């Protein structure tokens, strides 16, 4: 970044003051909170995070320095504001897969196609002759949960997945949302969500590594070099020599 594009010292100072103000507002909101999911606390939290991020960026651009604060990503849900007793729910599911073994995928689809239409196994004339066609056949034949449990058989490799349960006042009319099933999801009506990701496994592995390192540090070198007492020594039998 050129000197002309750098923020001024006054701008950095103003950003620091904004963090202080946001911090005071957040504390005040916490002190006045009306429950575990008070919207005022949530709003103050977001304002504090935004102010801290802005300050961190300006500080780095001006002085090539960073703050010791980690700004959390905005991956959390806002407080639930839906009906206390929902009359209907929607379950939104996303599962990602990598096509790890295309030939296995094609072979499975060809078996399904052959069983359904007496087609000649292994030909590429039907939909099973292409990867996207094979995917359509398999997901048309098997339930998504079955594919998830047998993904390796179909040449797929699991990626991230998420499941959201949203509340509604009334069930939707038939065909009402089929053209755009995942639009207009209100985060404040999400009752619960469940996420699966390799990132979580990596975090657990890092935690296990840290625990192992701590255990190793707790072992004193003297524990290995301490002299043995006479009672710890047993005479060798002649046959053992």
Residue 159 sits in the same domain as residue 190: yes
Percent of the chain whose pLDDT exceeds 90: 47
Find the domain containing 22 and state its range: 3-63
What rounded mean pLDDT belongs to the chain?
81
pLDDT of residue 161: 94
pLDDT of residue 126: 62
In this structure, is residue 106 part of a structural domain? yes
In this structure, is residue 52 part of a structural domain? yes
Residue 54 sits in the same domain as residue 146: no
In this structure, is residue 57 part of a structural domain? yes
Q: Report the distance separating Cα 200 and Cα 160, nearest Å.
A: 10
Q: Answer yes or no: are the C-beta atoms of 108 and 154 closer than 8 Å.
A: yes
pLDDT tens for 65-93 read 988 876 555 556 778 888 889 999 999 99
In this structure, is residue 210 part of a structural domain? no
Q: Report the distance separating Cα 16 and Cα 59, nearest Å.
A: 9
pLDDT tens for 14-26 read 999 999 999 999 9
Threshold 0.75, pTM exceeds: no
């Amino acid at each position: 970044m050129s000197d002309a594009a750098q923020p001024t010292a006054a701008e950095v100072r103003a950003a620091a003051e904004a963090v202080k103000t946001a911090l005071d507002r957040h504390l005040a909101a916490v002190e006045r909170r009306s429950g575990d999911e008070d919207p005022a606390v949530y709003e103050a939290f977001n304002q504090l995070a935004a102010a801290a991020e802005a300050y961190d960026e300006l500080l780095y651009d001006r002085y090539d320095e960073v703050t010791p604060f980690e700004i959390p990503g905005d991956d959390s849900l806002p407080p639930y504001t839906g009906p206390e007793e929902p009359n209907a729910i929607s379950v939104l599911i996303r599962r990602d897969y990598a096509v790890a073994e295309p030939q296995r995928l094609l072979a499975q689809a060809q078996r399904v196609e052959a069983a359904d239409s007496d087609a000649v196994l292994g030909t590429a004339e039907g939909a099973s002759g292409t990867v996207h066609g094979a995917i359509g056949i398999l997901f048309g034949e098997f339930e998504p949960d079955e594919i998830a449990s047998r993904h390796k058989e179909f040449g797929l490799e699991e990626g991230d997945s998420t499941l959201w349960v949203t509340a509604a006042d009334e069930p939707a009319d038939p065909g009402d949302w089929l053209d755009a099933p995942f639009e207009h999801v209100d985060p404040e009506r999400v009752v619960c969500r469940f996420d699966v990701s390799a990132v979580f496994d990596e975090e657990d592995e890092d935690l296990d590594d840290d625990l192992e390192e701590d255990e190793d540090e707790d072992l004193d070198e003297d524990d290995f070099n301490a002299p043995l007492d006479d009672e710890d020594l047993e005479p060798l039998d002649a046959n053992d020599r």
